[in-house]
Amino acid sequence: MNPDRQEHRHRRPALPSPRGDISRHVVDALRGATHAPHPWWRPPTVAPYGDDLQLALYVLYEMHYQGCRGVRDELEWDTGLLALRGLLEERFLAALRADVPQQTDADAALAPLLLEPVGHDESSVTHFLQRDGTAEQLREYAALRSLYHLKEAGPHAWVIPRLRGRAKAGMVAIEYDEFGAGRAENIHAQLFADLMTDLGLLTDYGHYADAARTQALATVNVMSLFGLHRALRGALVGHFAAVEATSSPGSRRLAAALRRAGAGPAAVRFYDEHVEADAVHEQVVRRDVVGGLLSDEPELAPDVAHGVEATVFLEDRLARHLLNAWRNGRSALRTPLDQAPGGS
């Protein structure tokens, strides 16, 4: 394989531009311009879904992935930054618990996701893109989703050592597919980078963080939040189940949208691969991963349901933002694609 195709995995992202006092404090501390906050420092009140908190969390979480350019690796475990992250997580979690249904049945939480709407769903981004989406809107969508897909499967892998038996075996089987079944060129993150190249986008990991609005950052942050905490393992399984349950039909529509827009085969391949693979994954995740986990730890059923509901809630927020912008002839990004700062 051409090593240039791996560039997006080799280059650390640049620190994004702050969007408020908290994210500025975090970025400055990581750059070494200021000291990291003391563990007992409490940040001012900040909106849980707002740009400032979500960007601060995104940057702090990135220290557990690729890190950031010019930032010392040791700061991943800085006690002041971890304490600040914990306070921001508390606000994010409290908001999610207040805003999503308090469902206690995991199957009941998943059931609506397994039903395809009859006809065109006006609230669905993939329905909109399939029928009306322009090439530029598809490029915007891919740029935003790159914050998730270029780390795809990584956050969910954190749950593997926290599972056992049937749940662990099912999770590893799905993750094996996500990571290319032993072939680097088939890793799903690489397939998405190939899609981005086909659409004329930069494939540097994390490049479009500055262009992403808070609604997109929150959908990425929630899986890091669930993944990093063993206490939230049930919620992470719920998140994974929600993603897999909706992936196959959504991928079918996105593949059709890309074909209609004249995208090349590499762009279409990513979603074509997910149509069949995720139809199988959805069965495995419900039967073995969710079923196995709740067989071992039935008390986690409300947590699994919360993971499903929180995922749906945040994805719906993002969908409303995207559709409102596109239907009104506006970009859904903070900065135009050709001006997005970051890792270029």
CATH code of the domain in which 203 resides:
1.20.910.10
Q: What is the pLDDT of residue 23?
A: 94
The one-letter amino acid at 59: V
Nearest alpha carbon to residue 215 among 145, 134, 121, 156? 145
Same domain, 129 and 74: no
Q: What is the pLDDT of residue 258?
A: 96
Q: What is the pLDDT of residue 275?
A: 83
Q: What is the pLDDT of residue 47?
A: 93
Q: Residue 344 falls within a domain, yes or no?
A: no
Looking at residue 14, the DSSP 8-state letter turns out to be P
Query: Average pLDDT of each block of 10 consecutive residues along the chain (344 residues)?
Result: 49 93 93 68 80 97 95 94 94 96 91 75 93 96 96 91 97 91 90 95 95 98 97 97 90 95 93 78 90 97 97 97 97 83 41
**Residue 37, domain extent:** 3-98
- Report d(CA 278, CA 246) in Å as an integer: 9
Same domain, 245 and 136: yes
Q: Residue 135 falls within a domain, yes or no?
A: yes
Same domain, 179 and 311: yes
Same domain, 22 and 156: no
Q: What is the pLDDT of residue 207?
A: 94
Same domain, 31 and 169: no
At 321-344, the pLDDT tens digits run 999 999 999 999 999 887 554 433
**If residue 256 lies in a helix (H) or strand (E), which one and from where to where?**
helix 233-260
Beta-strand ranges (E) seen in the chain are none
Same domain, 300 and 183: yes
Q: What is the pLDDT of residue 337?
A: 85
Same domain, 319 and 207: yes
Q: Residue 318 falls within a domain, yes or no?
A: yes
Q: What is the pLDDT of residue 248?
A: 85
Structure tokens at 341: 């700062």
Q: Residue 306 falls within a domain, yes or no?
A: yes
- Report d(CA 203, CA 198) in Å as an integer: 10
State the total domains in the chain.
Answer: 2
The model's pTM: 0.92
Domain boundary among 59, 79, 98: 98
Non-local CB neighbours of 156 within 8 Å, separated by 6+ positions: 171, 175, 178, 223, 227, 236, 239, 240
Same domain, 208 and 318: yes
Q: Residue 154 falls within a domain, yes or no?
A: yes
- Per DSSP, the three-state class of 33 is coil
Domain boundary among 38, 63, 98: 98
Same domain, 79 and 222: no
Same domain, 290 and 187: yes
Same domain, 93 and 128: no
Q: Residue 204 falls within a domain, yes or no?
A: yes
At 270-297, the pLDDT tens digits run 999 888 766 677 888 999 999 999 999 9
Q: What is the pLDDT of residue 342?
A: 44
Query: In degrees, to the nearest 5, what angle opens at C-alpha 309 toward C-alphas 323 and 16?
Result: 55
Same domain, 44 and 173: no
